[in-house]
Amino acid sequence: MTQHTILTADRPTGKLHIGHYLGSLKNRVKLQNSGDYKTFVMIADIQALTDNARNPEKVRKSLLEVALDYLAVGIDPEKTTILVQSQIPALNELTMYYLDLVSLARLERNPTVKSEIQQKKFGESVPAGFVVYPVSETADITAFKADTVPVGDDQEPMMEQAREIVRTFNNTYQQDVLVEPHGYFPPKGQGRLPGIDGNAKMSKSLNNAIYLSDTADELHAKVMQMYTDPNHVHVSDPGQIAGNTVFQYLDAFGDDQAKIAELKAQYQHGGLGDVKVKQYLEEVLSATLTPIRERRQEYAQDPGEVLRILEKGSQKANLVAEQTLQEVRNAIGLNYFQK
């Protein structure tokens, strides 16, 4: 049986939310436990600095928070290598070689990059490191020869650009050193959750996210303020399902689809209030988040051990990335003094 290799990553700029869980974390745990994959999970602190260079403390503090979220959802350091991007020197050198194989115009056309630049409102002050992120991501993926990358469906443009760079490298140097990566996407319709305010993007900056670490009280407060149908004023009023955030979350997290279908029919007909639907959603989300929260609290009692897990994983990953780097250097012809 062919064993595939996985590389996934998250920026340490805060705790992870349920959109991350639905978008890729569930898939990471599933693939890790299948036994068919050699898995690497990276905390991308260098990438986080591209728009936080003047606030490195934010990144440093978030490093442990992201690691705790990983462990809490079930990423097992005995099965998965958890590493820190800045601790793998080979990634920076690979990025420099790949930058010579892609044009600035092509990077600026990347839909994901364009969207995130608009969202962050950089204006004319876009950090160069942010624009070249697809190249850095390609280095991250190819360093471990990952052929599978669990991501949200909005990341397909990044995967396509990574494949372009891999093909260009292999064709230019006439050696099949690098492996083309392919995205492993969530089930259709679960690629991205809206924020609790109905905004298409869930993020810390918009203050519209439910976090994996939220307490029961925080979860209750956020669910109760979720966006529904603004025209559904009275219980007896017929309500709209389309664009109703509560039902979007139920579709994503609910196991009892028959009950959800019944609630939808009643809501659309009239006679079902928003509060009752939200109460049911709270039950559904609690079933998912309570065990995650409890495991997170256990790991948080020994932050030193969590850092040791990251150090051990980074050391292991460093050996793999260094091997790939030497293969790349050999292909280009840069290992001048090798005997």
* CATH (domain of 19): 3.40.50.620
Which tokens sit at 37? Answer: 């994959």
Which tokens sit at 266? Answer: 């009643």
- Is there a single domain that holds both residue 147 and residue 17? yes
Q: Are 200 and 4 in contact (CB under 8 A)?
A: no
Q: How confident is the model over 38-88, as pLDDT tens digits? A: 999 999 999 999 989 999 999 999 999 999 999 999 999 999 999 999 999
- Is there a single domain that holds both residue 239 and residue 321? no
Of 8, 20, 2, 1, the closest CA to residue 181 belongs to 8
- Is there a single domain that holds both residue 180 and residue 52? yes
- Is there a single domain that holds both residue 132 and residue 70? yes
Asked whether residue 206 is domain-assigned, the answer is: no
- The whole domain housing 242 covers 216-297
Asked whether residue 114 is domain-assigned, the answer is: yes
- Rounded Cα gap, residues 274 and 77, in angstroms: 42
- Is there a single domain that holds both residue 135 and residue 237? no
Band the pLDDT of 120: cuts 50, 70, 90: confident
DSSP assignment string, 171-216: HHHT---S---EEEPPSTT-S-PPPTTS-S---TTTT---BTT--H
Asked whether residue 338 is domain-assigned, the answer is: no
Q: Under 8 Å CB-to-CB from 49, ≥6 apart: which residues?
A: 56, 59, 129
- Rounded Cα gap, residues 30 and 82, in angstroms: 16
Q: How confident is the model over 158-188, as pLDDT tens digits? A: 999 999 999 999 999 999 999 999 988 877 6
Q: How confident is the model over 272-302, as pLDDT tens digits? A: 999 999 999 999 999 999 999 999 999 999 9
pLDDT at 98: 98
- Is there a single domain that holds both residue 246 and residue 174? no
Evaluate if residue 1 carries a pLDDT over 50.
no
Asked whether residue 203 is domain-assigned, the answer is: no
- Is there a single domain that holds both residue 125 and residue 225? no
Give the strand pairing for 80-84 and 37-43. Answer: parallel
pLDDT, the chain, mean:
92
Q: Under 8 Å CB-to-CB from 139, ≥6 apart: which residues?
A: 91, 92, 94, 95, 98
Band the pLDDT of 248: cuts 50, 70, 90: very high
Asked whether residue 199 is domain-assigned, the answer is: no
- Is there a single domain that holds both residue 148 and residue 14? yes
pLDDT at 184: 87
Q: In this structure, what CATH number is given to the domain that contains residue 251?
A: 1.10.240.10
Of 115, 107, 169, the closest CA to residue 139 belongs to 169
- Is there a single domain that holds both residue 38 and residue 18? yes
Asked whether residue 319 is domain-assigned, the answer is: yes
- Rounded Cα gap, residues 196 and 338, in angstroms: 57
Asked whether residue 161 is domain-assigned, the answer is: yes
Band the pLDDT of 106: cuts 50, 70, 90: very high
Asked whether residue 39 is domain-assigned, the answer is: yes
- Is there a single domain that holds both residue 267 and residue 310? no
- Is there a single domain that holds both residue 173 and residue 319? yes
- Rounded Cα gap, residues 128 and 141, in angstroms: 20
Domain count across the chain: 2
**71 vs 189 pLDDT, higher one:** 71
Evaluate if residue 191 carries a pLDDT over 90.
no
DSSP letter at 80 equals E
Q: How far apart are the first and last CA of the chain?
A: 36
Which tokens sit at 48? Answer: 């986080």
Residues paired with residue 183 on neighbouring β-strands, in sequence order:
149
- Is there a single domain that holds both residue 73 and residue 16? yes
Which tokens sit at 177? Answer: 């050193």
